[in-house]
Amino acid sequence: MTLSEIKKADAGSWFDPRFAGETIPTLRDLLRLTKGTVITVIEIKQENIADKVIKDIEDADAVGEVVLISFHASALRDAQAINPRIPRAFLIGGVEPLSELSPILDLIHSSAEVGAGTLNLSAKIISPRLVKESRRRGIGVWAWTVDDETEIKRLLEMGVTGITSNYPERVCSVLRT
């Protein structure tokens, strides 16, 4: 689809008839809309597009209002080279908690290597030792995707610095208690 076709698409009626006619914003439109209100986390889902993403961020004067995340080390390296003032987080998946020091240090090294100040990890691999070792070295730890309030509380008590959830109100509820 072309941008023109995307801009003509009805993005709201599937959700509720009240939203019929809502259009899909470009990244630049979104950044202008949210300017001064939130930190926008932008996932770079493919390699070789960091320059275009960063141009939109700079054009929207949003350098201080975004964090770039990616599973692609090369995308984060490119972002660092283009504009090192934009914070980056390295996305990493997995299924088992990491508690042995060697793989934890490998993750921390990988994060530093791509200029990411944060590890953005599948909640399944986060352990108290991983959080402790990362934080001790100045690397933040974000957890994804956490929808259960008990798990949100457990991760916050462990010291994670961010949580991705499909239910942000649950995260807010836990933070208020």
Query: pTM, whole model, 2 decimals?
Result: 0.91
Q: Which of 17, 1, 36, 160 is nearest to 26 (CA)?
A: 1
The pLDDT tens digits of the residues spanning 73-100 come to 999 999 999 999 999 999 999 878 888 8
Q: Spell out the domain ranges in the chain.
A: 27-176
Q: Would you tell me how many other CB atoms lie within 10 Å of the CB of residue 127?
A: 15
Length, in residues, of the chain: 177
**So what CATH class is 27-176?**
alpha beta
CA torsion through residues 165, 45, 8, 31, sign: positive
pLDDT digits over 95-113, tens only? Answer: 788 888 889 999 999 999 9
The pLDDT tens digits of the residues spanning 118-142 come to 999 999 999 999 999 999 999 999 9
Distance CA 91, CA 110 (A): 11
* Residue that has been written with the tokens 């995707």 in this structure: 145
Q: Residues 19-57: pLDDT tens digits?
A: 999 999 999 999 999 999 999 999 999 999 999 999 999
The torsion angles phi and psi of 46, rounded to 5 degrees, stand at: -145, 160
